[in-house]
Chain A
Amino acid sequence: MSLSKIKFDKKIVLSFWIILIALIIAAPTLLPVFRLNLLGRYLSLSIVALGVDLIWGYTGLLSLGQGIFFALGGYCAAMYLQITSSSEFPNNIPEFFALYGVEKLPFFWEPFRSPVFTFFAIWIIPALVAGLIGFLVFRNRIKGVYFSILTQASLLVFFNFFNGQQKLINGTNGLKTDVTQLFGQMVGSESMQRIFFWITAILVIAAWFFAKWVVKGRFGNILIGIRDDEPRVRFTGYNPVIFKTIIFSIAGGLAGISGALYTVQSGIVSPQFMTVPFSIEMVIWVAVGGRGTLLGAILGAVFINYAKSLVSEALPASWMFIQGGLFILVVTALPEGVLGWVQGDGPRNLLQRFGLKRKIETYPSLEVNTKEGDNE
């Protein structure tokens, strides 16, 4: 089976959207603030997952280093919050500097006094860094497993750098945001967290529309072409380096927005955002949700993370086994992910196996694809 059968079936997508939007609207009244805050965090993670889907699901670039761009976005947001809330601290600079005897604000903090600069920095800085790394890698035609290894190595470089810079960005302790002020309100307060939830929900939907716009039409087809047969794209007169750099940069920008939203809702950004397992988890969300489906990336990120927190509360320390099992299950049984399975022939084949083939009437859209059913 190939990804070819992942056809965007409008009815399935529409019904998922209706459910998702209904949940988002109902959540603030149904859920206690603690849960709402968790949901907001997971929704913000779905934005980085959308980027992973763009580069991996569509373009075939398996990046294990999205944590870099995620953390960069988080740091941009946290630096702004820290610096605008530092008026009562010595030298009018963030509190942690005093611990290391720093009296003068490092130069690169200065522009973060400006909310406008920060607003742009959150997505442009990660996008630029991604574009630069991407261009150098793609220009040298580094592909496949070597690309994955390289992105992971870059992640470790960034992790170690951020981890060691106490005097610049508080090193391993990270930057706290929950006790900072934004527009006269405490960022960690209940009312602010509700606002962040809404902003996140809107941005997830906006990011989905944006990603959809990117992959539809000829640009998206070239991405799929690069994934399936890059030399053929070259010999047709397209320069894959440019296309890959652009999409990697877009994924970086999305990761930055995601990281910023996650930071303000979890109350801290630290080098932990750049650990190896976290970036691999991002890939797992997309693999489980369904590569090349966009919506699958969102659902994968939200549901896996929600499951993670519920399972961890009930059975501490068991989550890693469940997550590993989930990944193995998807790789072996549902290579197209859950949404890919639903949109393909999955439900029909399953019903067939149990002698309930007629029930395909409940999936009218699938009857259109019946001729493809003999492909395993």
Chain B
Amino acid sequence: MNNKDLLNLVDITVSFEGFLALNKLNLNLKKGELRAVIGPNGAGKTTFLDVITGKVKPTKGEVIFKGKSLVGRKEHKIARLGVGRKFQSPRIFENLTVKENLEISVSTPKSPLNLINKSIKDEQLNEIERLMKIINLAQKVDSKAGSLSHGQKQWLEIAMLVGQKPDLMLVDEPVAGLTDEETDLTADLLKSLSGENTVVVIDHDMEFIRRLDSNVSVLNQGTVLCEGTMETIQKDQKVIDVYLGRPED
């Protein structure tokens, strides 16, 4: 643990009535890092995000973010500290327009009084415009988000995540259901976000992960099996056994 780290997970254990979803998981993230997390189904990838974002309280262990413990804090407080999350299937507000969705993400402070009394700040409107250009939805500003295509929804959710200006972005399967071209664009987008932001990407798609060209953590049975570049982990025998080259029997 050193002070360049943005996030430290220390011996995280999550037990669901005896079943260990996470088992003494340790993971450290540096500021500005892009990290891919892979693992077979049931490895604990989503629970890992749930612990960081406060949805699940770890049975044991500590989550340190920017020097503060996140354990026991409410989800919205953790979000305000600077942890943003994109969900597996796109979770946008379908009954609101694209612009209204982005307004929700960029608005600060997030208090009822501010929202009901004041109109949105100019710099926040500029930010919305910038985001809509990045995700190519400028023509769809006033369309209901529910009318967007699956790929556009994924991108809108990523834009909402960026609009929140989090220090740590947790991105769960951002390319599920996207075309190859969209997948490539998403990979480039996420790469461009790292550096300034710290990004954790969870995915199954090997091609996509390779394209991210980042460090990879392999989860298995609730713990980190191996960490390193794509090349390193592809050569690791343990990883080959559980995940990459699993024989088809």
Q: Is residue A29 within 8 Å, beta carbon to beta carbon, of the partner chain?
A: no
A237 lies within 8 A of B100 (CB): no
Count of interface residues, chain B, beta-carbon cutoff 8 Å: 33
Q: In the complex, how many angstroms separate the beta carbon of A24 from the nearest chain B beta carbon?
A: 29
Residue of B nearest to A371 (CB): B147
B116 lies within 8 A of A219 (CB): yes
B76 lies within 8 A of A234 (CB): yes
| Known pairs A2-B94, A221-B100; A232 contacts B87 (CB<8 A) | yes
Chain A residues numbered 168-224 whose CB sits less than 8 Å from any CB in chain B: 214, 217-219, 221-222, 224
A228 lies within 8 A of B93 (CB): yes
C-alpha gap A240/B112 in the complex (Å): 10
- Main SS at interface, chain A: helix
Please tell me which one of the listed residues B76, B119, B120 contacts residue A239 in the complex, with CB atoms under 8 A apart. B76
Q: In the complex, how many angstroms separate the beta carbon of B228 from the nearest chain A beta carbon?
A: 30
Q: B83-101 interface mask toward A, CB cutoff 8 Å, 1 = contact, 0 = none?
A: 0110100011111100010
C-alpha gap A372/B143 in the complex (Å): 11
C-alpha gap A114/B37 in the complex (Å): 67
C-alpha gap A217/B160 in the complex (Å): 18
Residues of A within 8 A of B103 (CB): 218, 221
Please tell me which one of the listed residues B53, B79, B95, B119 contacts residue A217 in the complex, with CB atoms under 8 A apart. B119
Chain B residues numbered 98-128 whose CB sits less than 8 Å from any CB in chain A: 100, 103-105, 107, 110-112, 115-116, 119-120
| Known pairs A217-B116, A218-B115, A218-B120; A231 contacts B104 (CB<8 A) | no
A237 lies within 8 A of B80 (CB): yes
Residue of A nearest to B96 (CB): A221
Residues of B within 8 A of A4 (CB): 94-95, 144, 146-147
Q: In the complex, how many angstroms separate the beta carbon of A369 from the nearest chain B beta carbon?
A: 11
C-alpha gap A4/B143 in the complex (Å): 10
| Known pairs A2-B95, A228-B95; A222 contacts B104 (CB<8 A) | yes
Q: Is residue A3 within 8 Å, beta carbon to beta carbon, of the partner chain?
A: yes
| Known pairs A221-B93, A221-B96, A225-B96; A234 contacts B147 (CB<8 A) | no
Complex A-B: 8 CB contacts under 8 Å? A214-B116, A218-B104, A225-B104, A231-B55, A231-B91, A235-B84, A238-B110, A372-B147
